[in-house]
Structure 1
């Protein structure tokens, strides 16, 4: 399941690669920046409009969601391929439809690894950032002048990983869907939920996880080194293709995760299968979760602070990811270098991946500390890190306004890390805080991300960029910091408020944990 999830994460990350051919859409199809932002906004908004998928996830499970997502995303790449091949006429409406396709499985894998949520984020969700770097590397090596072949390649990849995940990924026994509940007795439902203890007492194979972490580290080091070298030296076509091939081989290496033998011996596994649970050295103190339903939480400010934080953070990330090529060109006085643009996109993917690794690793450390602690609040809660994304976004946007073109990598890296932080913390904190309606809670926040994508990307960045471009007389391009100044100032203001809403979320959940633990202690005494 985790291996399939990694492949699907790479497919989803391709939606962050729009900038690698957005410049070609301008030159080949005579599209302006308002058209480009319309295409990227519609695509991103449709991808983030995942609330129906969340409802379907809670009702029937992940298989139906994955199959539909695979078909929709595959249709998108099929349309790109037909348009780039000249079979159908490419234009604004067609590209909007083609770019509106995309979906994920991280919640399912987190549910299957309740004690190793951080491992799932490190190994799977990291590739929603790092995957874009792999795809950009392959694009530069093999598909730079043949966009139709790139679309065909991505179509094959999406169908392969998506259909594999559809058949492999499933929910654990303790998480009962609404449809399953209708077919089960109360005793069966209760027995299923009690099987959560099994998942807490049977460890995952550390040998396989260590292999995955090692391979992830090799991927990150190789991709970062290669893209820096490629940007500042004139690599031959053969060398570029060889390095891209290595990147593909390293990704395929994750197939070894389920193939490696587990270190758990047959005796221990047979002991569990016979109904005897593995003994723990001591009882682990659980973190009290909110037991209220999604509809009940809609009436609480806590959930709306989550929504506002997501609005600001995701909206900022979308503006940067979707328009990195235009921002780079504007700050660089309308000078555009394909290699530099590819380097920016590649390092942004690595930065986003690194942020997810940091959050996932921190959660693993917190979980290990919690299992050793006498009281749950004696170690920090993961929600402590929830404001980090907003703080990093403020710093990155500020640097983008004041640094020269030669130092652009730093703000792009920081803003991409902010984007990675919010995706990772949202996935982990949602699972940490809520015990009911996980799919609805997780995807509800992204409804606000749809709104922020439309507001910040299309009607803020796109409109202001075009206004400045027309005033300079060089439309559809723009030159100078003036092209992005107002947008960045708005982003700084929004994320400054998000720091406080994120802190409110942490404080509220910490107080809830403290109250519940105090109540439990009183009842026991």
Structure 2
């Protein structure tokens, strides 16, 4: 029996990780508030630096993120981190627009600390999950994620200049800093929820909460999938089934025909389990050329999957 990792599922997870990186970069965008804190509240540069330093220190002491990641995994940790990150920026916005009437260096440092408490949770959940899902390409994964961590600050500045900066004035007090804070908090929460929908630990590495509920046989079966992850590179030219009855962990029969003929002389068949997601790389599984015709049996129905160099269309016969 041929077993495969779902590469499409892994690539979706990588794209979700890029969105998470954009949200995480909000941690380094505090300098946008500098002029507002100086002009409206009269803070000195030393006081403003104190606020940002508190956030950096809290972020670099994020041991809690690793502990929680090992215990509950990214599906729980990502929304939790998004809530903390969103809360911190919402508190900034409520103070800027006067909803919270009390303001001080200590309170702003607290808000920055709350934000920096949640964003490392998102960072750990995304980077570690992707490294475990891509053990053969983990260097490239870290490169992509950390690149977007840095590029995200430029994206945030573009958001601010385009939507929240006063168009006809150079006066900082006329900019909509509270609106920007609310927007950034909402973006962090949205990115964390997107990440929670697509980010999963690989089968061979369950979190502690899941591991305690596995039987010894189930744990052994999961550990065997490590060999798959250590042998299958990300597929560059694959054909995929897009749902239509092929479900997660289902075993389907796939037939590849070299000359577009469904005959015994030209076809080879395989029983293939879908490991880790909702799609199946058929051409890679069968070892046929990229122009082969592929048939899959799912729920008792034969489906022609018209395999080609581009993504194919699923036709039900």
Q: TM-score, normalised by structure 1?
A: 0.40
Contact 2:204 2:223 in 1 (8 A): yes
**Alpha carbons of structure 1 residues 66 and 279: separation in structure 2 relative to 1, 3 Å:** same
**Alpha carbons of structure 1 residues 29 and 205: separation in structure 2 relative to 1, 3 Å:** farther
Contact 1:13 1:132 in 2 (8 A): yes
1:50 corresponding residue in structure 2: 62
For 1:1-39, what per-residue CA distance to the aligned partner results, in whole angstroms no more than 9, with x for missing partners?
212211111111011111222132122211122211221
**1:180 equivalenced with 2:193 (yes/no):** no
Distance 2:221 2:286 in 1: 20
**Alpha carbons of structure 1 residues 267 and 95: separation in structure 2 relative to 1, 3 Å:** farther
2:259 corresponding residue in structure 1: none
Write 1 or 2 for the structure with the bigger share of strand: 2
2:76 corresponding residue in structure 1: 64
2:160 corresponding residue in structure 1: 139
Contact 1:6 1:125 in 2 (8 A): no
Distance 2:73 2:162 in 1: 39
Contact 1:18 1:40 in 2 (8 A): yes
Distance 1:152 1:117 in 2: 34
Distance 1:164 1:13 in 2: 16
Gaps of 5+ in 2: 1-12, 166-174, 242-253, 257-268, 276-283, 288-317
For 1:453-491, what per-residue CA distance to the aligned partner results, in whole angstroms no more than 9, with x for missing partners?
xxxxxxxxxxxxxxxxxxxxxxxxxxxxxxxxxxxxxxx
Distance 2:139 2:78 in 1: 22
Q: How far 1:137 sits from its partner (Å)?
A: 1.9
2:278 corresponding residue in structure 1: none
For 1:223-276, what per-residue CA distance to the aligned partner results, in whole angstroms no more than 9, with x for missing partners?
xxxxxxxxxxxxxxxxxxxxxxxxxxxxxxxxxxxxxxx54687689654289x
Distance 2:74 2:161 in 1: 34
Gaps of 5+ in 1: 208-261, 281-525
For 1:114-148, what per-residue CA distance to the aligned partner results, in whole angstroms no more than 9, with x for missing partners?
11213322332211111111111221222231101
Q: Which of 111, 114, 126 is matched with 2:135 structurally?
A: 114
Q: Which of 174, 181, 196 is matched with 1:166 structurally?
A: 196
Write 1 or 2 for the structure with the bigger share of helix: 1
Contact 2:129 2:200 in 1 (8 A): yes
Secondary structure of the corresponding residue to residue 175 of structure 1: coil
Contact 2:137 2:233 in 1 (8 A): no
Secondary structure of the corresponding residue to residue 172 of structure 1: coil
Q: Over alpha carbons, which structure has the higher Rg?
A: 2
Spell out the pairing of 1:436-475 with structure 2 (5 A cutoff): none
**1:130 equivalenced with 2:160 (yes/no):** no
Spell out the pairing of 1:509-520 with structure 2 (5 A cutoff): none
Distance 2:198 2:48 in 1: 37
For 1:261-320, what per-residue CA distance to the aligned partner results, in whole angstroms no more than 9, with x for missing partners?
x54687689654289x9699xxxxxxxxxxxxxxxxxxxxxxxxxxxxxxxxxxxxxxxx
**1:76 equivalenced with 2:88 (yes/no):** yes
Q: How far 1:205 sits from its partner (Å)?
A: 3.7
2:307 corresponding residue in structure 1: none
2:107 corresponding residue in structure 1: 94
1:273 corresponding residue in structure 2: 273
**Alpha carbons of structure 1 residues 270 and 115: separation in structure 2 relative to 1, 3 Å:** farther
1:11 corresponding residue in structure 2: 23
**Alpha carbons of structure 1 residues 107 and 267: separation in structure 2 relative to 1, 3 Å:** farther
Spell out the pairing of 1:389-468 with structure 2 (5 A cutoff): none
Contact 1:74 1:159 in 2 (8 A): yes
Q: Which of 181, 189, 193 is matched with 2:223 structurally?
A: 193
Contact 2:79 2:189 in 1 (8 A): no
Number of residue pairs aligned between Structure 1 and Structure 2 = 226
Secondary structure of the corresponding residue to residue 126 of structure 1: helix
Distance 1:68 1:79 in 2: 17
Contact 1:205 1:263 in 2 (8 A): no
Q: Aligned-residue CA RMSD in angstroms?
A: 2.7
Secondary structure of the corresponding residue to residue 201 of structure 1: coil
Distance 1:195 1:12 in 2: 31
1:33 corresponding residue in structure 2: 45
Distance 2:231 2:100 in 1: 56
For 1:146-174, what per-residue CA distance to the aligned partner results, in whole angstroms no more than 9, with x for missing partners?
10111121122112111121232110001
Q: How far 1:86 sits from its partner (Å)?
A: 1.4
Contact 1:201 1:279 in 2 (8 A): no
Distance 2:234 2:216 in 1: 30
